[in-house]
Amino acid sequence: MNKVVANAGEAIRDIESGMTLMLGGFGLCGIPENCIAALVRKGVNNLTCISNNAGVDDFGIGLMLQQKQVKKMISSYVGENAEFERQLLSGELEVELIPQGTLATRCMASGYGMPAVYLLAGVGTEVANGKEVRNFNGKDYLLEYAFDSDFAIVKAWKGDSQGNLVYKDTARNFNPMMAMAGKITIAEVEELVPVGELHPNEIHTPGIYVHRIFQGKDYEKRIEQRTTRKR
């Protein structure tokens, strides 16, 4: 099945205001830059975004925050975005901060078809407020529900027309587990190759999880904080 679409605008054509989106990436590494830019141009709003972080003020999800497109952020780290902080403190933005491992596991649970999982992280903290706690073998665990997202939007290094994906180095991060979890998964890739060119042993996300794929362009690949040392 050929899942190739022309560009980011075509890929996100039926994303509407009020939907829940998963967006891959860690910091600014491995984020779906083209799709985020297309969402900004389209102007959809009232979105719930599930992502490890909220980008920076002028890049990544930060661009969507600037345009007031995000109603709620579900993240584990948001410390690089001043606009995010302003909206949170002013009450304009609803935020659910969760442990990073819990974020990953709730994505995986959704991909595996599991409605919920019991986790150790957060027991005895504010994270546990209002959640079911159950004891297994003398330890308390929190009941955490799998995410329910309308779309998952991910970025890969290479992909083919059937949606098979290969990620590069640490840019893999949250992308594989989110690719499994969306009702509809959109993948943008740096290099789109013919079917058969990717070796089966190199594929990180099988094409069965991906519904649309396109070759992106003009990737900036920014670095949040560059730290160097004198030689």
- The one-letter amino acid code at 90 reads S
Q: 137 lies in a domain?
A: no
Are 29 and 222 in contact, with CB atoms under 8 Å apart? no
**For residue 225, is it within any domain?**
no
- Assigned domain for 100 exists: yes
State both tokens at 165: 């994906």
pLDDT attached to residue 34: 96
pLDDT, one tens digit per residue, over 56-97 is 888 999 999 999 999 999 999 877 788 988 999 999 999 999
Domain range for 38 is 8-113+148-215
Answer left, alpha or beta for residue 224, where phi above 0 means left and psi between -120 and 50 means alpha.
alpha
126 falls within a domain: no
Instruction: Give the rounded percent of residues in the chain with a pLDDT score beyond 90.
Output: 84
Is residue 202 included in any domain, yes or no? yes
Predicted pLDDT of residue 222? 77
Domain holding 155: CATH number? 3.40.1080.10
C-alpha distance from residue 128 to each of 9, 50, 53, 95, 226 (Å): 40, 19, 21, 16, 36
The answer to whether position 122 is within a domain reads no
> What band does 228 get if pLDDT is binned at 50, 70 and 90?
confident
Is the pTM higher than 0.85? The answer reads yes
Closest-CA residue to 165 (of 131, 134, 191, 129): 191
176: left (phi over 0), alpha (psi -120 to 50) or beta: alpha
User: Is position 95 within any domain?
Assistant: yes
pLDDT tens-digit profile of 152-187? Answer: 999 999 999 999 999 999 999 999 999 999 999 999
Q: What are phi and psi of 144, to 5 degrees?
A: -120, 135
Bridge partners for 116 per DSSP: 145
* Residue 179 lies inside a defined structural domain of this protein: yes
Q: What is the pLDDT, as a whole number, of residue 77?
A: 85
Q: How many domains does the chain have?
A: 1
Cα atoms in the 13 Å half-sphere on the side-chain side of 84? 25
Starting at the edge strand that comes first in sequence, how are the strands of the sheet with 139-145 ordered? 116-119, 139-145, 133-136
